[in-house]
Amino acid sequence: LTDSLVPALGSNNLQCIEIDPRSVELLGEKHPSLRVSHLDVLQADYPSIADEEGGPLSIIGNLPYYITSQILFALADASHTNAVRSATVTMQWEVGKRIVAPTRCKDYGILSVVFQLYADCKIHFKIPPTVFYPQPKVDSALIGLHFLGP
């Protein structure tokens, strides 16, 4: 993902958060001017990062399926301080369906309520497992969240 974003947006407009030290090293070698923070995304201080960047953040990422909800709630919390403006992220298809589910639908639940209250939510498209390596056993979705602000 980063290899596609750097030419499109420029390394000066990107800041990466990566927990895997091998990935941090590889990104540094491939993109020397890219800012890469070696940290757990759940520990990220989005308001501080937004202050450093000079305004609200637009988040782009492939979310680890096992911590998707925690990351999304952290982004929603950060949107209340105007630290995060939007997020375009991949996640497990079933989670994406729950986020955009209408009322009186079997997928409607806490994720639907929270994210539809605080953001405009949209599934852009479904992603088959074959485009990932290693391949997950489930479909994924590209989701757009435009947070409504404080």
Give yes or no: residues 132 and 61 share one domain: yes
Q: Check residue 48 and give its pLDDT.
A: 95
Tell me the backbone φ, ψ of residue 109, rounded to 5 degrees.
Answer: -170, -155
Q: Check residue 145 and give its pLDDT.
A: 98
Identify whether 48 is part of a domain.
no
Give yes or no: residues 70 and 110 share one domain: yes
Expressed as residue numbers, the domain containing 107 is 56-147
Give the C-alpha separation, 123 to 111, whole Å. Answer: 14
Nearest-CA neighbor of 136 among 95, 91, 99, 97?
A: 91
Give yes or no: residues 32 and 60 share one domain: no
Q: Which residues are annotated as a binding site?
A: 1, 18, 40, 62
Q: Which residues are annotated as a binding site for S-adenosyl-L-methionine?
A: 1, 18, 40, 62
Where helices occur in 46-109 by DSSP H, the ranges are 46-53, 68-79, 93-100
Identify whether 49 is part of a domain.
no
- What domain count does the chain have? 2
Q: What is the pLDDT of residues 14-62, one digit of tens each?
A: 889 999 999 999 999 999 998 899 999 999 999 999 999 899 999 999 9
Q: Where are the beta strands (DSSP E) in the chain?
A: 15-18, 35-38, 57-62, 84-92, 119-127, 140-147
Give yes or no: residues 24 and 63 share one domain: no
Give yes or no: residues 90 and 31 share one domain: no
Give yes or no: residues 72 and 104 share one domain: yes
Nearest-CA neighbor of 1 among 144, 142, 137?
A: 142
Give yes or no: residues 65 and 130 share one domain: yes
